[in-house]
Structure 1
Amino acid sequence: MTLHRIQAGYLPGLDAAEVDWQLLSFAQGDQALEVEVPVLSAAQMDALAARVRQASARHLKTMAVSEIIAVVDQAIARLLDRSDPYRQQAEAYLPVVSGYDSDMVRLGLTGFFKTFRAAQLHRFVAEDFANPKVLDGFQPTPKGGAVRAFGPDLLVHNWAGNVPALALWSMVCGLLVKAGNIGKLPSAEPLFAGWFARLLAEVHPPIADCFAVVWWRGAGEDGASGGASALYAQADTVLAYGGNEALDAIRRRLPVTTRFLPHGHKLGFGVVSATALDTLKAPALARLAAWDVMRYDQQGCYSPHVFYVQRGGAVSPRAFAGYLAGELANLHRRFPRRPLAVEDSAAVAKWQQGVEWKALSAGAEGPADQLIGASSAAWSVAYSDTLQPLAPTAMQRTIQVVGVDALDDVVPLVAPHSRFLQTAGIAAAPAELFRLAGLLGAVGVTRISAIGSMSAPEAGWHHDGRFNLLDLVRMTEIEQSAELAAEPLAPYAD
C-alpha cells in the first residue's frame, strides 16, 4: 500500500511549527493518505481572525467586484486544467478521502468548476443585485437617495464534507461580498478548501491574508484549546452546512447578535409525467434519472430519493423502474459505488428489508411493492403501485419509484415534509411544468430542475430558497432627505 501525508488548512501569519496538528487517516484500494489538520488555541485563533479582518479591509474591500471575479476566474481556469498541479492533486487525493470512484470525482469536479468561471459569476452576482455596483460604492435608487451593500468583516464557514470540493460555493460567495473568510474544514473532506486558498494566494498575492482555513473536531466542543469558541465570538456572520443536530449545536454557541445562516438536511424527489413516457423518451429519461441517483451516491442535499411516475403513458411506471434499474447497473460498471461503512451497509439492508416486508404483506393480491434486482447489487430500485409519502431512502444509490394516477397526487405526499423540501426534478410538458411548479413551490420546494440536472445546480441558484449573496450583506441607505439637506451646504450653493 502506498502511503502519502499531506498538511491541510491555510494559516496566514502563523508558524506551522507552533501549531498543533491532528492526524486524519484515509484509505481506498492500495492508496493510504494521512492528512494533518491544524488545531489552534484561542490565542492563535484570535490572532488569525484579526489578521484576516485587517487584510480584507485593506485589500479585498478596496477591489471592485469585477476584479474579484477575475481573480476567481484565473484560479478556476487552473483547476479546469488537468495538467495543473492543483487539479492533479485533487484528482489523486479526493477519491481517497471521499471513497468515490476516481472517474466520478474527475467528471464531477469539471462540471462543478465550470459554474465558477467569470461569465457564470457575473450572472451569479446579478441574480441577487439588480445593480452589482452596490458592492463597490453607493448607487442611486429609483425612490431617490443611494444604497450600498457591505459584506461582513469576518464570515465564518462551517463546511460539510459529503461532496468533494463543496466548500467552493460559500468561499466564493464570501469573496464576492468582500468578507474576510475563515472556514472550518470537514473531517470527511479536509483537503480542497486549503488548496483553493493557496491557489488564490498564488493567483493574486495581495489577498493572501484575506482568508484562512482551520479545523476542529465536530461542532467545536473545545477541550483546552478553545479555538472554535474564540472564532465564533469574533464572527459577524456564520454560514454552516450539516446535520440538523450539528447546526443546532453551532446555533447555541453563537452570540445572539451574530447572523446565522444554516443549511441542513433536505429531501429531493422527481416527478415524471405520462407525456414523457413514450417508448423513445422513457429509456433516455431513465438514463438521466440514474445519473442523478449515481452522482456522489445521493449524498448531496439535492439528490433524489423518490421518483413519482404517472400512469397512462406508453411506458408504465413499473417499466420505467425497470429501465432505471438497468441504467443504474450500467453506471455501476463505469462508476462503481464507493465501499460502504458498516453503518451504511446496515442502513441499506434495513431499507431493502422494509420494501420486501411490504411486498410480502400484499398477500395473494400480488405485490404492491417490490425490490427490482438482487439485494446484493450495488444499487437498489424499489417499485410501489400504491401511493407512498416522500421519505428518505438509505442513499448509496437506493431509490423508490411510485406509480401515481395524476401529477397532483404528488403534492399531498410531499407537503408534510415542507421544512425539508428543496429540489424537485420534473419531466413534463410546459403547461404541466409551470402548474405543478406552482403547487410544489407553495408547499416548500425551492428548486425545480430537469431530471438529470438535479444533482448539478446552476451557478447562482437560490440555495434553500434564499439569496447566496444578499443574505450575507447589510444595506446602507442615504435617504433623499439627506441628499437634499446637503445641497445648501455645498460650495456652489452661495
Structure 2
Amino acid sequence: MTSKPHRIQAGYLPGLPAAEVDWQVLPFAQGSESLEVAVPVLSAAQMDALAARVRGASALHLKTMAVSDIIAVIDQAIARLLDRSDPYRQQAEAYLPLVSGYDREMVRLGLTGFFKTFRAAQLHRFVAEDFANPKLLDGFQPTPKGGAVRAFGPDLLVHNWAGNVPALALWSMVCGLLVKAGNIGKLPSAEPLFAGWFARLLAEVHPPIADCFAVVWWRGAGEDGASGGASALYAQADTVLAYGGNEALDAIRRRLPVTTRFLPHGHKLGFGVVSASALDAHKAPTLARLAAWDVMRYDQQGCYSPHVFYVQRGGVVSPRAFADHLAGELANLHRRFPRRPLSVEDSAAVARWQQAVEWKALSSPSGQEAADQLIGAPSAAWSVAYNDTPQPLAPTATQRTIQVVAVDALDDVVPLVAPHSRFLQTAGIAAAPAELYRLAGLLGSVGVTRISAIGAMSAPEAGWHHDGRFNLLDLVRMTEIEQSAELAAEPFAPYAD
C-alpha cells in the first residue's frame, strides 16, 4: 500500500485568500517518492486585483527605496538560502530534486554556486555593469552634456519563467527588484516551487515590500484557460520578460498589446573550442574533466550548455584522445551525480542521436576510419560521439550527449557555427591569451555573446549580458531633463530677483 503523496501549496498571492482561489494539482514522482504541488489559477477579476495591488505597493514602497537598500534586502534573503540549516534552504534541497529529477547532490552544489552570484558585492557589480552611475535608479543625475537623467523601471513587470533548471526564476526576479518594478511571475509547470519560496522569504526579510510581487500560474501560454487570468495580466503589463522555446515565446508575443515591451529569451546552442596549446599530457586530462562538468550540470538543459567541442589537431594529445578522456570523466561523474531518469520522449531522442552516429560509422567506405564514432556503450548514461572531419554545429539529444569534432585550425570553427548565428550564445574556450582574443573577435562577429572558460560554461558570472543584451537597461526607460530646461528654470528661482 502506497502512502498518500505530500502536498505543497505553491505561488505567492498577497491580498488573495487561498480559500477564494482555484488550485490545480501538479503531480511529481521519483522512484518511491511522490509530491503534489498545488498551483494557483486566478480568474480575470482576481488577476486584475492582484496586479493593481502589486503596482500600488511597488509605487509606495519599492520605488522609494535606494537601490543599495534593495540590494541589502536581497543579500539577507540570499544569506538564508546559503545557510543549509535554514528552513527555506532545507525545503529547496528536499523538494527540488524530486520535482526536477536531478541528483540531490548536483542540486545542492548547483544551488550553492548559483546563490553565491546574488550576494551584495555581486549585485553591486551587476548594477554597475549596466549603469555607470547606479544612482540613476534613485533620482536625477547630472549628465556630461548638461542636464540630468533618471532611469525608471516598469510599474508592472511580468515574468514567464522556464523550469528546465531549478531556481532559474531568481535571475529575472532579482533584475525586476533592482529596477524597482512591481513583479508578477508565472510559475513553470516543470519547477513550480522556488519562485514562491523566494517571494515569501523576501516578505519575511523586509515586510514593507511584501505586496510588491506575486507568483501565479496558468497552463502553457494561457490560451486554454477559461478564467482569462493570463490575458488580464498581459493586458496590464508594461514589460513582459519570457523564457522558453521559440514556439512558446511566439505564442506569448501574439497575446501582448503592441505597446507592451517584450523581452524574449529562447533556446540557444553552446559549444567549446580547445586549442592545441591546451593539449599537453598534463593539461588535457584536467581540461576534459572541466568539459565533463559543463556537460553534466543539469544534463545540458541550460541555454549555455555545450553540444559540441571543437578540438584542434597538433597537440601532444590528439582530438580523439581528448574525446576518450571526456568519456572517462563523464563516466566518473555519473557515478557521483547520476543522470536523472529519462522520459520516454527523452530516451527516444537519445537513441535516435546514437543511432545516427552509428549509421554514419557503418556507412563509411571500407578500410577508411569511420567519420563518426560512438565512444562507450549505447546503454551508458552518457554518450560521446567523435568525428574526425569538420562538422557544422548541431544540437545533440542533451541528457549528457556530446560531440567532439577535430579541426586543423581554430579559425575553422567560425564557418561551422556561423549558420546558427541567431541561436549562438556561449562558447567555452581553452586557448592561449592571444588566441583567445583573436578567436573571441571572430566568434563575436558571427553571433556569440558570451565567452567563458571551459568548466564555467554552465555557471555564468553575475551581471553577464544575457543573449548579448542588458539585464537592467533593457527594463528601464530614461527620462531626461535637457540643459535648456535647467537654464530656463533659473529666472524663476527665488534668488533670481
Please classify the TM superposition score into its range, dividing by the shorter chain length: over 0.9
> Deviation string for 1:28-66 (max 9, x for gaps)?
122100000000000000000000000000000000000
Q: Secondary structure at the match of 2:359?
A: helix
Unpaired stretches in structure 1, ≥5 consecutive residues: none
Q: Distance in 2 between matches of 1:364 and 1:328?
A: 28
- Aligned position for 1:34: 36
Q: Secondary structure at the match of 1:475?
A: strand
1:228 deviates by 0.1
Identity of aligned residues (%): 92
> Deviation string for 1:255-292 (max 9, x for gaps)?
00000000000000000000000000000000000000
Superposition TM-score, scaled by structure 2 size: 0.98
Q: Distance in 1 between matches of 2:144 and 2:363?
A: 65
- Partners of 1:222 and 1:228 within 8 A in 2: no
1:223 deviates by 3.0
1:475 deviates by 0.1
1:131 deviates by 0.0
Counting matched residue pairs gives 490
Instruction: Say whether 1:20 aligns with 2:27.
Output: no
- Aligned position for 2:483: 480
> Deviation string for 1:405-441 (max 9, x for gaps)?
0000000000000000000000000000000000000
> Deviation string for 1:166-199 (max 9, x for gaps)?
0000000000000000000000000000000000
1:369 deviates by 1.1
- Partners of 1:152 and 1:179 within 8 A in 2: yes
- Aligned position for 1:72: 74
- Partners of 2:219 and 2:225 within 8 A in 1: no
Q: Distance in 2 between matches of 1:379 and 1:241?
A: 27
1:386 deviates by 0.7
> Deviation string for 1:341-396 (max 9, x for gaps)?
00000000000001001111116454x21000000000000000011000000000
> Deviation string for 1:75-109 (max 9, x for gaps)?
00000000000000000000000000000000000
- Aligned position for 1:118: 120
Q: Distance in 2 between matches of 1:93 and 1:164?
A: 10
Q: Distance in 1 between matches of 2:359 and 2:273?
A: 26
Superposition TM-score, scaled by structure 1 size: 0.99
> Deviation string for 1:206-230 (max 9, x for gaps)?
0000000000000111432000000
Q: Distance in 2 between matches of 1:474 and 1:6?
A: 39
- Partners of 1:124 and 1:459 within 8 A in 2: yes
**Aligned with 1:364 (options 361, 368, 376):** 368
1:116 deviates by 0.1
218-227 vs 330-339, which moves further: 218-227
Instruction: Say whether 1:47 aligns with 2:49.
Output: yes
- Partners of 2:23 and 2:38 within 8 A in 1: yes
**Aligned with 1:320 (options 295, 316, 322):** 322
Output the aligned Cα RMSD: 0.6
**Aligned with 2:430 (options 427, 432, 438):** 427
1:252 deviates by 0.3
> Deviation string for 1:436-485 (max 9, x for gaps)?
00000000000000000000000000000000000000000000000000
Q: Secondary structure at the match of 1:485?
A: helix
- Partners of 1:151 and 1:177 within 8 A in 2: yes
Q: Secondary structure at the match of 1:292?
A: helix
Q: Secondary structure at the match of 1:326?
A: helix
Q: Distance in 2 between matches of 1:348 and 1:472?
A: 38
- Partners of 2:375 and 2:386 within 8 A in 1: yes
> Deviation string for 1:101-133 (max 9, x for gaps)?
000000000000000000000000000000000
Q: Secondary structure at the match of 2:368?
A: helix
Q: Secondary structure at the match of 1:365?
A: coil
Q: Secondary structure at the match of 1:364?
A: coil
- Partners of 1:5 and 1:36 within 8 A in 2: yes
- Partners of 2:77 and 2:205 within 8 A in 1: yes
- Partners of 2:82 and 2:112 within 8 A in 1: yes
Q: Distance in 2 between matches of 1:431 and 1:451?
A: 17
- Partners of 1:75 and 1:200 within 8 A in 2: yes
Unpaired stretches in structure 2, ≥5 consecutive residues: 1-5
- Partners of 1:222 and 1:229 within 8 A in 2: no
Q: Distance in 2 between matches of 1:155 and 1:365?
A: 56
Q: Distance in 1 between matches of 2:172 and 2:255?
A: 21
Q: Distance in 1 between matches of 2:369 and 2:417?
A: 28
Q: Secondary structure at the match of 2:24?
A: strand
- Aligned position for 2:3: none
Q: Secondary structure at the match of 2:374?
A: strand
Q: Secondary structure at the match of 1:225?
A: coil
Q: Distance in 1 between matches of 2:362 and 2:436?
A: 36
Q: Distance in 2 between matches of 1:397 and 1:451?
A: 16
- Partners of 1:152 and 1:237 within 8 A in 2: yes
Q: Secondary structure at the match of 1:295?
A: helix
- Partners of 2:82 and 2:115 within 8 A in 1: yes
**Aligned with 1:127 (options 126, 129, 139):** 129
Q: Secondary structure at the match of 1:220?
A: coil
- Aligned position for 1:254: 256
- Partners of 1:177 and 1:472 within 8 A in 2: yes
Q: Distance in 2 between matches of 1:243 and 1:206?
A: 36
Q: Distance in 2 between matches of 1:258 and 1:219?
A: 16
Q: Distance in 2 between matches of 1:35 and 1:397?
A: 28
